[in-house]
Structure 1
Amino acid sequence: MGILDRFLGDDRERAATKYAGRESASDRAARKRREGHRRSATKAARKGQAWEDKGRSQEAGTVWFRRAPKSNG
């Protein structure tokens, strides 16, 4: 037990009574981290899809193989 606990009381007890029903700072930070991860993952997926769509549109008129010459025989 620290010196402040002797003067102010148990901070866990105070948090359970005074701040009941509120999100804790550590829970809020964890939630923000998760949201940020989802946001960046979605952003990366969109960029990748745009890159793929651009490549497909550029390839639309091209032929990927060379046709064999017709034989006259």
Structure 2
Amino acid sequence: VWMFMMGGFSGIMHSSAPADAQQQDSYFVIAHFHYVAIGGIFLAVVSGIYFWLPKILGKMWKGNLSIWVAV
């Protein structure tokens, strides 16, 4: 979640035309993309495991464990 949020915060700077002109074709744009992409992919993988693992194993999550995994 932290990487996805950092990507969102760094994207705010891209909305400003003068800042975007200076950052164009720099590693800052590449880092912004990777923060968003890696954060989104990580969230998707964790949520997929959280959803599908009990169905594959045939067991439900323990009550306290599922709360901490969600946090």
Pairwise same-fold verdict (TM > 0.5): no
TM-score for the superposition, normalised by structure 2: 0.42
Higher share in helix: 2
TM-score for the superposition, normalised by structure 1: 0.41
Task: Between the two structures, name the one with larger relative contact order (CA 8 Å, sep ≥ 6).
Answer: 2
